[in-house]
Amino acid sequence: MDARIGIRNTKSILFKSFIIFLAFVVTLPLIIVLLYIIKQGVMQVNWHFLTHVPAPEGEKGGGIANALVGSLLIVGMSSLVAIPVGILAGIYLSENPGTKLAYYSGLCVDILQGVPSIVMGIVVYFWIVKPFGFSAISGSIALAIMMLPIVIRSTEQTLLLLPPSLKEAALSLGVPYHRVILKVIVPCGFAGILSGIILSIARIIGETAPLLFTALGSNYLSTNVTGAMESLPHLIFTYATSPYDDQHDLAWGASFILLMFVLILNIVTKLITRKWKIQL
Amino acid sequence: MDKNKRLDLSYSQMKWETIFKRILSVMSAIIVIVVAGVLITLVVESWPSIKSLGIGYLWGKVWDPVNNIYGAYPFLIGTLLTSFTALIISIPFSYAIAIYLGEYNPKGWLSDLLKNTIELIAAVPSIIYGFWALFVLVPVVRSLETKIHVAPYGVGVFTASLVLAVMIIPYAAALGTSLIRMVPSPLKEGAYALGATRFEVIRSVILPYTRSGLFAGILLSLGRALGETMAVTVLIGNTSAIANTFKDIFFGPGNTMASVIANEFAEADHALYLSALIELGLVLFFVTVIINLIGKRIITRYTNN
């Protein structure tokens, strides 16, 4: 009898150690990738790197100013489209949970969340690139569509968590509906909405596939949003697969910068959610 | 304020209310329109290929755009092989994380640290995984392949699966963690009271109770893996021919649906070629959407009960 209990206890302990081992092994690839990118990238980054365009093939030096400016512009334009639409649609979903439109648009949010990014690239190619040519705007639209589901869901879920008495109190004071939403409900859920927005930006800033056939890429520093434009992930893709070592160096530097953006945005989200104790 | 002015004011407020409500509906209708637009665009643009190649396109074994022969079989095999290999590698790890964070250590700094680290795995852009693996993992795989006597390409289905496995772990792990935390404690306490060890409680109470939810998490991971483009495109070697033996297919270069679109879409120089590529996109769209919706449906049903 005692021996069997011993065996069962040992089994339990062995299982626990095995689980702990597996769970922590997963962090190894991340740590290895992070350290490697930092090691390779940090040497590349200096003022020259940030303010110059890539040197011609086979030449040393140059920087990623074109990709940096491009990424910020493209992501900025996507945010301009996706944030208002996403927040308003999220408000609708949380305010009218029973309606047919809410059901279908909720379903479509789920669908959008699952659409592979490359498919989004193809579709926007036919919508905008085919009639108007390659442009930063088309890239922004593809990314904005990818941002939408995250912004909508985080807005909806934040607002659903707010106590209904908030809204009822404001309405009973005679405040009109739109002012209740904009002046009471949205400010109360501001932290949750904001962290959803930041998370969605972190998600799309590294997206490459939708930009392949839309913003394309360019070797020149350009702020013309109706023309082709370089972006950080696209630059990494092009230079990673090129045969030149100098271009690999540029790609390592760009990876480092992109990784820092993503890490900082994620940490900011974490801080916001922790400070206001919200769950996404 | 005289009476007329007050009426005017409340009238304009009411007008604003209606306008505001209408804006809200329009914004959420936009989502439906976008999804419908995506579907229609894919169907319309792939129609030439659907019409002229028929359903046989899906199991045609040869992809030769130069001679106008299109068969999607190599890409279907490539996609299924990379995704399922990645899934099989990732399952033990995502289950382990879910059990550890859900049952053994649900609170405290170590638990938070691990949880945040796992979330970061999903945050790193896929092109960065691809780039890193191309320079670090590929040489390792190459020397491994020399040891087991297969052609040492380095890039290929196996390498892509390894990276993919790491990338999809967070999805199943996060869902599994929250579901395991939701297991009612009376169930567990009952089992403990009967003298069960912790392992026995996990095996015979927690895992059966969360089975369908954990399955949904795996579906979400699978949906991610099927549509993942950039890391795979960089690592898979991009060959549309399929090798003869399974070993060569598994370790040699291949192509997935997403990677062939990424590589050849810009080069597609005639209508049928382009249309055949878009049909791949359409198939990919349907498969990932269905998998995601089933996963989400299971989760909602599970969390409501």
CATH number for the domain harbouring residue B115: 1.10.3720.10
List of chain B residues whose C-beta atoms are within 8 Å of the C-beta of residue A28: none
Q: Per-residue confidence at A280, pLDDT binned at 50, 70, 90?
A: low
Question: CA angle B261-B267-B273, nearest 5°?
Answer: 70
The answer to whether residues B149 and B25 belong to one domain is no
In chain B, which residue's Cα lies nearest the Cα of A5? Answer: B197
Mean pLDDT (whole number) for A215-238 = 88
pLDDT of residue A219: 83
Q: Are residues B45 and B139 in the same domain?
A: no
B26 and B62, same domain (yes or no): no
CA atoms within 13 A on the CB side of A64: 30
Per domain, the residue ranges of chain A are 2-42, 47-275
pLDDT value, residue A278: 60
Closest CA in chain B for residue A112: B35
Q: Tokens 């040699």 map to which residue? A: B252
Give the model's confidence band at A35: pLDDT under 50 very low, under 70 low, under 90 confident, else very high.
Answer: very high
Residue A279 has pLDDT above 70, yes or no: no
Interface contact flag, B132 A126, Cβ < 8 Å: no
Q: What DSSP designation does B153 have?
A: -
Q: How do residues A64-76 score in pLDDT, each as one tens digit?
A: 899 999 999 999 9
**Residue A174: left if φ>0, alpha if ψ -120 to 50, beta else—which one?**
left
Mean pLDDT in residue range A252-266 = 94
What contacts B86, CB < 8 A, 6 or more positions away? B160, B161, B162, B164, B165, B167, B168, B225
Of B27, B116, B284, which has the smallest distance from its Cβ to A85's Cβ? Answer: B27
Q: Which is higher by pLDDT, B57 or A200?
A: A200
Grade residue A274 by pLDDT with cuts at 50, 70 and 90.
Answer: confident
B231 in A contact zone (CB under 8 Å): no
Minimal-distance CA residue of chain B relative to A216: B266
Greater model confidence, B10 or A87: A87
Q: What is the ipTM, given to two decimal places? A: 0.91
For chain B, say whether A17 makes contact (Cβ under 8 Å).
no
Average pLDDT over residues A183-191: 90
Please report the sign of the dihedral spanned by the C-alpha atoms of residue B54, residue B59, residue B62, residue B66.
positive
Looking at the fold, whether B199 and B281 belong to one and the same domain comes out as yes
Q: Chain B closest CA to A54's CA: distance in Å?
A: 18
Based on the fold, state whether residues B270 and B168 are members of the same structural domain: yes
Query: Do B130 and B25 fall into the same domain?
Result: no
Q: By the 8 A CB rule, do B168 and B86 touch?
A: yes
Residue of A115, A92, A114, A116 whose CA lies nearest to A104 = A92
Are residues B34 and B182 located together in one domain of the fold? no
Write the pLDDT tens digit of every residue in A122-139.
999 999 999 998 999 999
| Residues in contact with A220: Cβ distance below 8 Å, sequence separation at least 6, in sequence order | A53, A66
Q: Do A118 and B258 touch (CB under 8 A)?
A: yes
Test the B interface: residue of A85, A110, A119 with most B CBs within 10 Å = A119
Identify any residues that bridge with A62 across adjacent strands, giving them in sequence order.
A54
**Token duo for residue A210:** 């939708």
Which segments of chain B have a pLDDT < 50? none
d(CA B13, CA A274): 38
Q: How many domains does chain B have?
A: 2
Unique residue bearing structure tokens 């999903």: B122
Locate B84 and state its tokens: 């399922």
**A21 or A242, which is more confident:** A21
Chain B closest CA to A33's CA: distance in Å? 7
By residue range, what is the domain housing residue B235?
57-304
Spacing of C-alpha A204 from chain mean position? 4
Cβ proximity of A270 and B116 under 8 Å: yes
In the numeric block, which tokens belong to residue A58?
Answer: 């086979």
What is A47-275's CATH superfamily?
Answer: MetI-like (1.10.3720.10)
Interface test with B, best of A107, A108, A160, A230 (most B CBs within 10 A): A108
Residue B214: partners with Cβ closer than 8 Å, 6 or more residues away: B95, B98, B172, B175, B176, B179, B207
Sequence-separated (6 or more) residues with CB below 8 Å from residue A257:
A41, A45, A64, A68, A232
- B91, B114: one domain: yes
Say whether residue A118 is in contact with chain B using an 8 A CB cutoff: yes
As given in the structure block, the two tokens for residue B214 are 């954990």
Q: In terms of domains, do B186 and B41 share one?
A: no
Residue A204, CA atoms < 13 Å, CB-side half-sphere = 33
Phi, psi (deg, nearest 5) at residue B69 = -110, 125
Three-state DSSP class for residue B64: strand
Q: Which two tokens stand for residue A248?
A: 């690999």
The pLDDT of residue B305: 58
**Bridge partners of B64?**
B69
**Could you tell me if B138 and B35 lie in one domain?**
no
Residues B284 and B163 grouped into a single domain: yes
b/e map A15-27, b = 16+ CB within 10 Å: bbeebbebbeebb
Distance from CA of A22 to the nearest CA of B (A): 6
Which two structure tokens, joined as six digits, stand for A135?
């442009």
The reply to whether residue A181 touches residue B234, judged by beta carbons under 8 angstroms, is no
Please tell me the predicted confidence (pLDDT) of residue B120: 92
The torsion angles phi and psi of A54, rounded to 5 degrees, stand at -60, 140
Contacts of A148 in chain B (CB under 8 A): 31, 34
pLDDT at A1 (0 to 100): 57
pLDDT at B3: 63
- Whether B25 and A122 lie within 8 Å, measured CB to CB: no
Tokens for A19?
Answer: 């689980």
Query: What is the DSSP-derived secondary structure letter of residue A126?
Result: I
A:199-238 residues touching chain B, CB 8 A cutoff: 202-203, 205-209, 212-213, 233, 236-237
pLDDT score recorded for residue B303: 75
Over residues A229-245, the pLDDT tens digits come to 999 999 999 999 888 88
**A27/B114 Cβ within 8 A:** yes
CB contacts under 8 A, B 34-53 vs A, are 34-35, 37-38, 41-42, 45
Based on the domain organization, do B17 and B118 belong to the same domain? no
Residue A277 pLDDT grade (very low, low, confident, very high; cuts 50, 70, 90): low
> A19 to chain B: which residues are within 8 Å by CB?
96, 99-100, 104
